[in-house]
Amino acid sequence: MHHMNSPINHISVDMCNGLEFSHVNITAPMESPNTNGIDISGSSNVFVHSSTIQTGNDCIAINSGSSFVNNISDIFCGSSHGIRKHRVMRGRSYP
């Protein structure tokens, strides 16, 4: 899947369990504000791997209410802020 130039989050995950993303290619100009690649909230057991994410904000944002989002591997984050864990996480999370 290739997702390009979204005006805000490219992929938003909310209240999901047992989700897998692989071979995803997300691009946006480096200067685009608030263009998280994958934005995860209130979800658990999310696995993201083998993908390229180049955005103007977070490559992957793990937000409050999420748990067991510790299966992130083989990600090229390009010019983004990288993988960010935002406040209040339950269970094990991405280190």
Query: How many angstroms separate the CA atoms of 79 and 28, rounded?
Result: 10
Residue 78 pLDDT greater than 50, yes or no: yes
Residue 35 is predicted with a pLDDT of 86
Do residues 67 and 74 make contact, with C-beta atoms less than 8 angstroms apart? no
Q: Pick the residue with more confidence: 27 or 78?
A: 27
Q: How confident is the model at residue 95 (pLDDT cuts 50, 70, 90)?
A: very low
- Residue 94, Cβ neighbours under 10 Å: how many? 18
Sheet holding 60-62, edge to edge: 11-14, 38-41, 60-62, 83-85
Residue 80 pLDDT greater than 80, yes or no: no
Do residues 62 and 36 make contact, with C-beta atoms less than 8 angstroms apart? no
Residue 87 is predicted with a pLDDT of 62
Q: Please give the structure tokens belonging to residue 24.
A: 């995803």
Residue 25 is predicted with a pLDDT of 95
Domain edges within the chain? 2-84
Model confidence over 2-56: pLDDT tens digits?
Answer: 888 888 889 999 999 999 999 999 998 888 877 889 999 999 999 999 999 998 8
Residue 70 pLDDT greater than 80, yes or no: no
Pairing of strands 90-93, 83-85: unpaired
